[in-house]
Structure 1
Amino acid sequence: MNRMTNSFRALMRSRLSLLALVAILPAVLWAVVPVGSLGASTDAKLSTLKNKIEKTQSEVDKKKGTEDVLTTDVAAWQHKINGLQSKIDGLQGRQDEIEVGLKRESKQLNGIQDDLRTQRRRQVEMKARLEEGRRVLGQRLFQLYRADAPTLISVVLDSKGFAELLERSEFLQRIGEQDRHVITVVRAARVDATINANRLGTLENRQQAITSRIKVKRDAVASIKGELVTTRSGFDKSKERKAALLASVKADRHQLEGSLSQMRETQAKIEGVLVGGGPIRQGSGSMIWPVNGPITSPFCERRAWESCHPGIDIGVPGGTPIRAADSGTVRVASMNGGYGNYTCIAHSASLSTCYAHQSRYAVTVGQNVSKGQVIGYVGCTGLCFGDHLHFEVRINGQVTSPLNYL
C-alpha cells in the first residue's frame, strides 16, 4: 500500500513538473524569440536602408551630371550673349559717330534751308520786278502803236516772243532812252530770275540728298542693331530657361542630399546599436563611451625614447554617431592635421576630451553640450587607415589614459 502511495506521489510530482514547464514555456519563448527577431528585423531594415541610400546617391550623382551639363550650357549662352553685346556696343559707338556726322550735316542742311528761304523771297521779288517791267514795256508798246509807228510795230510782230524782242537791235535802236532803260531792267530781272531758279533747284537737290543720306545711315544702323537686340533677347530667354532648369535640378539635388544625410544618420545609429550592443555604453568611470566598439589601438604614455599612442582607437563603422563623454563646452571643432576633423570639449578648467578623424561635425565652437549628445560622426579624415574614432582625455593639456575615466 505504501509502495502504491509513493508511486502515485512520484507520478503526480512528475505531472506537476511537466505542467509547470508547459506554463513557463511561452514566457521563455517570448523572451528568446523577440531578440532573434529583433536582430533579423534590424538587419533587414539596415539592408533596405542601404539600398535606399545607394539609389538616392545614384540619383544625386545623376543630378550632379545634369547640373554640369546645364552649367556648361548656361556658360555657353552667356558667352554668346557677351559676343552679341560687344557687337551691339560697337554698333552703338558707330551710331554715336553717325549722329555726330548727322549733326554736322543737319547744320549744313539748316544753312541750305536758310538759303532756300532767302532765294525764294528773292525769286518772288524778281518775278514781281519782271512782271512790272513787262507791264511798263507793254504800255510803252501800246503807246507806240497808237503813235502810228509802223516800222516798230512790224519789228514787234516779227518777234517770236518777248525774250527775242528784247534782243533785236533794230527794236532797241528805234525806241527812246527811257524805253531802253525799262528794257534793261526787264532783261536783268529775267536773267536774275533764271539764275535764282537754277540755284533754288541746286539747293533743293542738295537738301534732298542730305536728307536721304541721313535717313539711309540711321535706318542701316537701326536695322542691324534691331536684329542684334532681337537675337540677344532670344539668347537671354534660352539662357533663362537653362538657368531655371539648373536651379530646379539643384533644388532637387539638395533635397535628395538632405534625405541622404538623414538616411546615413539613421544607418549610423542602427550600425552603432548593432556594433556596440546599445546606444550608450556606461563604464565604471564618470564618463560614457563616445561610441560602442572594441579598442583597436590602446593608450600608452609617451617616453623620451619612443613614440606612443596618446589615446585609444575604437573600431566602429563610418557614420556612427559620436557622443560627448561628459557635459561641457566645445572649444575646438576644426581640421587639425593628422587628427583630421577634430573636436575638443572642456569639461572643467583642467579636464577635456578630444575626438579625431570625424567624417563631419554636429556641433560648433562655443556650444554647450550634454553627456551623451551627438557631437559628430565617425570617419577617416586626417592620417588614418580605416574608419574609427580616436579618443583622448587631457588633464591640463596633457594626455592621460581614457580608461581611467570610462
Structure 2
Amino acid sequence: MKKRIAVVFMTLMFTFSSSFVLADELKEKQKQLNETKKNIENLKGKIDDVKDKQEDVEKEINNLNSKIDKLQNSIENLDNQIADTKMRIKQLNKEIKQLEKEYEEQQELYKERIKVMYMNGPSSILEVLLDSQNFSDFFGRAEIVKAIVENDKNILKCIAEKKEQIENKAKEVTQKQQRLLSMQYELSSQKSQLDEACREQRRLYDKLENDKAYLERVLKAEQEESNLLEKQIKEIQARQKKNNNFGTFSKTGIIKVSDLGYIPKVTSPFGMRMHPVLGYARMHNGMDIAVPTGTPIYSMAKGEVIIAQYMKSYGNVVIIDHGDGLTSTYAHLSKISVSVGQVVEKGQMIGKSGNTGLSSGPHLHFEIRKNGVPVDPTPYYIVGQ
C-alpha cells in the first residue's frame, strides 16, 4: 500500500514537473514570438525609411535631369552660335583677304606715283604749267596737277584706312574665337558635373534598392519564423511530456583543436548586442565562435535530435534534447549530418560549420536552453583536443 502511494505521489510530482517545464517552454516561445513581432515592426519601419530616401533620391535625379535638359538646350543653342560664328569667321577671313589684296594694289599704285614723281622731279610740274597756251589752259592744267596731288593724298589715306580695317577685323576674329572656346569649356564643364551628380544619385538609388530588397528578405524571414514559433507554441500546448533518459549527464568538446590547428576565438558572447546584420540591438541567445566553413561540429552530450532543418535566422540548425529540459543548439551550419528523432552520442559529429541564415561571416552559433529559456552557454562550451 505504501509503495502504491509512493508511486502515485511520484507520478503526480512528475506530472506537475512536466507541466511546469511545458509552461516555462511555452512562456519562452511566447517571449520569442513577441520579440519576433517587434523585429518585424522594426524592419517595416526601416523599409519605410528606405522608401522615403528613395523618393528623395528620385526627386533629386529628376531635378538633375531637368537641369541637364536645360543645359543640353543651351549646348544646342551654343552649337548653332558656333556654326554661325564659324561662318562669320569664314566671311571675315574672306574680307581680310580682299582688304589685303586692295591694300597691295593701292600700295603698288602709290609706289608708281612716287616713282614717277622721283624720276621727273618738281620741274616736270612747272614745265606742264609753263607750256600752257593761255591763261585758261594754265588754270586747267593747274586743276589737273591739283587733282593728281589730291589723288595721291587719297591713296595714302585709303591705305591707312584699309590697314586699320584689316587690324580691326583680325581682332574681331580673335575675340570671337576666344569667346567660342570659353563658352565650349564652360558648358562642357557644367554638363560633366551634372552628369557625375546624376550618376552618383543613381548609384545611391541602386544601393537603397539593394538595402530595401535585403530588408524585405529579412522581414520575410522574421515573418516565417514568427509563423514557425506560433506553430511550435501550439504543438507544445497540445503534446504530452516526453521522457528522455540518457543516463548521467556529461559533456565534451563541440569543436576540436585537431580539426583547426588552433583554439578558435569567441567573437560574440551571450547577452545584448548590436546585431551585425540587422543593425539594431537585440538579445544574443548564444555565443559565436569564429571557425572556417566546413569545420566539423560535435554534439555536446548524448541526446535526441529534435530539430534538424533550415531556418531563416539560424540557417541550417541542429537542436539536441539532452533530457531534464536541457537543449543545445548549433546554428549557421553548412551541412547537417543528423536527422530528427536520431539519438546521438557525446562527441558524435552532427554537421559542419558555415555561414547560412542571418550571418555576417563563417562561424558557429552555440546556444543552451534550460526548459526553453536561453542561458549563458559558456559553462557548457568546451574545445576538444
Higher share in helix: 1
Larger RCO (alpha carbons 8 Å, 6+ apart): 2
Q: Flag the structure with higher strand content.
A: 2
Q: What's the TM-score, normalizing by structure 2?
A: 0.48
